[in-house]
């Protein structure tokens, strides 16, 4: 990895590798946590919506780290933020390990939720350092180098997924041992950053105040972030108030106060409409990319087998890792601007999710997931590059807020939303097949999601027992030389097969519903492509240049 302009700082390569390793550690932890969700469901009896909420804490916590870190990064220095992230990562492991068999479900849930939240807080703090740092180091080719930086995320998920497949599925090692292994790359990134001098952003070098940096975000951009924060506080404050309406109004009040602070800092600036659109679109990206990543290996593992689901997750992540090194080549050969690249990717992602929803065999799943991987690969880093290119005076602040919005959306909308869809569609499928069987096997707690009616899914412990029985039957048949994946189904009772099939039907319908998100994104990117064509084309701007001028 070489720099586009080696004279920016002499240690640019080491800082890029250190940033790469930091996000790698986050990806390893994320990959492992995704693989042990079902362990937590079976051990503690969580519903899919509860598991989605725990997984969602891995995104919502991120937003606090990246937004707060982005605001203070140039004031306190990147080095102090790296130390804070290191401590948060270590603390997250100890809190998560507090969940143990024999505890009440509520107690275990709190340990797992907050352990995951603190882990995400560390990840967000790291990205508050890495994103603006790399954007500053390589101002002439941000799309390429931000894609290289974020190739570490799927690389980490490959390692995390492989740990889950080898130690979890093959060796049946405790989930706590699996999870603890992410601390190894955590120690490595700490050593890589040790003693390094880091440059400031262009905006910070020019002495712009926080209010000046926030002007392009303004009230409109702040509204997107504050709306998601209000939603987050509704979940966090729920246990503290008996009346749900009180929780709602308190949360809205917190969001309103934060928005007023943004208005005061920016002296009432509305913000740029393009920044607002990019923020909303990145919320969609967080929901469809990271929200789906949190569920995909469990969904494909349920449709096929658990081991195959983890292998497919590793395969998809490997594809993303390789593709993110190709963004510069793709832009150069196709003459696509970053926004046009996002348009093509949204269309491919929509097609990919629909293909994955119809998989029946491992070979077909490889092809479907490769299409999906190609679609989602460039979303996140290219969006960060667009904001850095078009809003240089926003410094580290805007891309940090954007990253927080994406992660919050994944945690509050994507993860729980897909969990709700899985519960709802699975429950509806079983009820349509046999109302009596559904009544005997429905989850005790109803699942709910913003704006949608409450729905009962299938009891997670009962479904987990069926899946364990199916896995054991497959293992025995494989020992006997029978690798037919359908043969094991014959060892289930008729009712067990119906329950298992209903859960698969729910998974397929969930993926089809998920595909509507990139379809909407494609429409937005098409309009943005036409906008940039109308003003003379896309190019990076310097501080003082207008987003609407022709060139």
Report how far apart, in Å, the C-alpha atoms of 34 and of each of 31, 40, 55, 198, 415 are: 5, 10, 8, 33, 11
Confidence of residue 4 (pLDDT cuts 50, 70, 90): very low
The arithmetic mean of pLDDT across residues 469-497, rounded, is 84
Q: Does residue 403 share a domain with residue 467?
A: no
- Which pLDDT value is given to residue 260? 96
228 within some domain = no
Considering the domain architecture, whether residues 321 and 448 belong to the same structural domain is answered as no
Separation between Cα atoms, residue 259 and residue 262, nearest integer Å: 5
Q: Count of domains in the chain?
A: 2
Coil, strand or helix: which one is 343? helix
The backbone torsions φ and ψ at residue 495, rounded to the nearest 5 degrees and listed phi first, read -65, -40
Contact between 70 and 401 under an 8 Å Cβ cutoff? The reply is yes
In sequence order, the β-bridge partners of residue 442 are 458
Q: Look at residue 7 and tell me whether its pLDDT is greater than 50.
A: no
- pTM of the complete model: 0.82
Residue 523 lies in a domain: yes
Q: Where are the beta strands (DSSP E) in 339-446?
A: none
pLDDT at site 6: 42
For residue 120, is it within any domain?
A: yes
| Structural domain for 356, as ranges | 12-217+271-418+514-534
- How much is the pLDDT for 234? 85
Question: Taking residues 440-452, what's their average pLDDT?
Answer: 86
Q: Are residues 412 and 435 in the same domain?
A: no
In tens, the pLDDT along 164-198 reads 878 877 788 888 898 888 889 888 988 888 888 87
| pLDDT tops 80 at residue 38 | no
**Per-range mean pLDDT, top range of 38-42, 236-240, 346-350:** 346-350
Same domain for 519 and 501:
no
Q: What is the mean pLDDT of residues 230-252?
A: 83
Residue 128 lies in a domain: yes
In a domain, 26, yes or no: yes
More confident residue, 148 or 169: 148
Q: Is residue 309 part of a domain?
A: yes
pLDDT in tens, 364-386: 999 999 999 999 999 998 999 89
Terminal alpha carbon distance of the chain:
32
Q: What is the pLDDT of residue 96?
A: 92
**Is residue 399 a part of any domain in this protein?**
yes
What is the distance between the alpha carbons of residues 427 and 259, in angstroms, rounded to a whole number?
Answer: 40
pLDDT for position 238? 74
Reading the block at residue 133, the tokens are 């740092």
E strand residue ranges, 384-513: 447-449, 452-455
What does the H/E/C string look like for 477-493? HHHCCCCCCCHHHHHCC
Most confident of 390-394, 472-476, 497-501: 497-501
Angstrom CA distances, 11 to 15, 96, 519, stand at 6, 36, 42
Size (the chain), residues = 551
Name the one residue in this structure whose structure tokens are 């009346």: 243
Position 498 confidence tier, pLDDT thresholds 50, 70, 90: very high
Q: Which residues of 163-190 are buried (b: 16+ CB within 10 A; e: fewer)?
A: bbbebbbeeeeebeebbebbbebbeebb
- Residues 43, 44, 45, 50: is their CA dihedral positive or negative? negative
Same domain, 411 and 348: yes
Alpha helices by DSSP H, 77-104:
78-96
Same domain, residue pair 472 and 518: no
**What are the residue ranges of helices labelled H in 164-217?**
175-180, 183-193, 202-205, 210-214
Distance of alpha carbon 507 from alpha carbon 424, whole angstroms:
10
Residues 379 and 469 in one domain: no
Q: Determine whether 196 is exposed, middle or buried from the number of CB atoms within 10 Å of its CB (0-12, 13-18, 19+).
A: middle
CB atoms within 10 A of CB 318: 17
Query: Is 309 in the same domain as 366?
Result: yes
Report CA-CA distances (Å) from 161 to 40, 59, 313: 16, 18, 7
* Selection from 344, 278, 295, 347 nearest residue 520 by Cα: 347
**pLDDT the model gives residue 201:** 65
Q: How many CB atoms lie within 10 A of CB 432?
A: 11
Beta strands (DSSP E) in 9-141 are none
DSSP 3-state of 455:
strand
**Sequence-separated (6 or more) residues with CB below 8 Å from residue 32:** 160, 163, 164, 178, 179, 181, 182
Look up the CATH number of the domain holding residue 311: 1.20.1250.20
Same domain, 442 and 349: no
pLDDT of 318-349, one tens digit each? 898 898 888 777 877 888 899 999 999 999 99
- Residue 499 CA to residue 395 CA, distance in Å, equals 52
Write down the pLDDT at residue 379.
93
Count other C-beta atoms under 10 Å from residue 390's C-beta: 23
**Eight-state DSSP code of residue 199:** P
**Of 62, 380, 389, 22, nearest in space to 198 by CA:** 22
* Nearest alpha-carbon partner for 305 in 360, 364, 235: 360
Q: Are residues 211 and 112 in the same domain?
A: yes
Quick check: 77 pLDDT over 80?
no
Q: Are residues 446 and 364 in the same domain?
A: no
Do 392 and 468 share a domain, yes or no? no
Asked if 377 and 352 touch (Cβ cutoff 8 Å), the reply is no
Mean pLDDT score, 24-42: 83
Phi, psi of 471 (to 5 degrees): -65, -40
Average pLDDT value for residue range 497-511: 93
110 Cβ partners below 8 Å, 6+ apart? none
- Is 430 within 8 Å of 440 (Cβ atoms)? no
Contacts 24+ apart (CB under 8 A), 203-207: 203/74, 203/392, 203/393, 203/394, 203/395, 203/396, 203/543, 204/74, 204/395, 204/396, 206/543
Question: Is 198 domain-assigned?
Answer: yes
Mean residue pLDDT of the chain comes to: 86
């Amino acid at each position: 990895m070489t720099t586009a302009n080696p004279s920016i700082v002499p240690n640019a390569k080491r800082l890029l590798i250190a940033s790469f390793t930091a996000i790698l550690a986050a990806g390893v932890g994320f990959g492992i946590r995704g693989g042990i969700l079902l362990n937590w469901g079976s051990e503690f009896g969580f519903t899919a919506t509860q598991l989605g909420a725990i997984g969602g804490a891995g995104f919502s916590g991120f937003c606090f780290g990246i937004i707060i870190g982005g605001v203070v990064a140039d004031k306190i220095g990147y080095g102090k933020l790296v130390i804070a992230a290191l401590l948060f990562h270590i603390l997250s492991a100890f809190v998560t390990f507090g969940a143990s068999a024999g505890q009440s479900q509520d107690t275990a849930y709190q340990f797992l939720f907050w352990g995951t939240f603190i882990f995400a807080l560390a990840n967000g703090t790291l990205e508050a350092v890495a994103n603006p740092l790399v954007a500053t180091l390589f101002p002439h080719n941000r799309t390429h180098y931000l894609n290289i930086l974020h190739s570490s995320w799927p690389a980490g998920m490959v390692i995390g997924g492989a740990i889950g497949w080898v130690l979890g599925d093959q060796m049946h090692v405790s989930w706590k041992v699996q999870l603890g292994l992410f601390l190894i790359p955590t120690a490595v990134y700490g050593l890589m950053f040790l003693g390094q001098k880091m440059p400031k952003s262009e905006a910070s070098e020019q002495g712009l105040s926080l209010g000046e940096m926030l002007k392009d975000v303004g009230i409109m951009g702040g509204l997107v972030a504050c709306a998601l924060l209000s939603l987050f506080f509704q979940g966090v404050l729920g246990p503290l108030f008996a009346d749900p309406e009180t929780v709602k109004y308190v949360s809205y009040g917190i969001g309103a106060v934060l928005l007023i602070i943004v208005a005061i800092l920016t002296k009432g600036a509305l913000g740029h409409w393009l920044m607002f659109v990019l923020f909303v679109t990145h919320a969609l990206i967080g929901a469809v990319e990271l929200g789906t990543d949190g569920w995909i290996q469990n969904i494909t593992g349920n449709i096929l087998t658990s081991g195959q689901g983890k292998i497919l997750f590793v395969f998809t992540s490997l594809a993303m890792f390789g593709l993110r090194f190709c963004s510069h080549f793709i832009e150069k050969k196709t003459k696509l601007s970053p926004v046009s690249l996002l348009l093509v990717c949204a269309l491919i992602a929509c097609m990919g999710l629909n293909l994955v929803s119809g998989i029946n065999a491992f070979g077909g799943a490889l092809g479907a997931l490769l299409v999906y991987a190609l679609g989602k690969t460039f979303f996140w880093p290219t969006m960060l590059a667009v904001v850095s290119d078009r809003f240089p005076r926003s410094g580290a602040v805007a891309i940090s807020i954007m990253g927080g919005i994406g992660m919050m959306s994944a945690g509050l909308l994507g993860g729980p939303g897909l969990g709700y869809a899985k519960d709802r569609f699975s429950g509806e499928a079983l009820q349509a097949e046999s109302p009596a069987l559904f009544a005997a096997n429905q989850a005790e707690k109803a699942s709910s999601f913003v704006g949608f009616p409450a729905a009962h899914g299938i009891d997670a412990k009962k479904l987990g027992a069926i899946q364990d029985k199916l896995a054991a039957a497959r293992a025995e048949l494989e020992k006997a030389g029978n690798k037919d994946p359908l043969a094991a189904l014959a060892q289930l009772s008729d009712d067990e097969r119906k329950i298992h099939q209903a859960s698969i039907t729910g998974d397929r319908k969930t993926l089809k519903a998920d595909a509507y998100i990139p379809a909407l994104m494609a429409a937005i990117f098409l309009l943005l492509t036409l906008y940039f064509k109308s003003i003379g084309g896309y190019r990076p701007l310097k501080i003082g240049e207008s987003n609407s001028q022709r060139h």
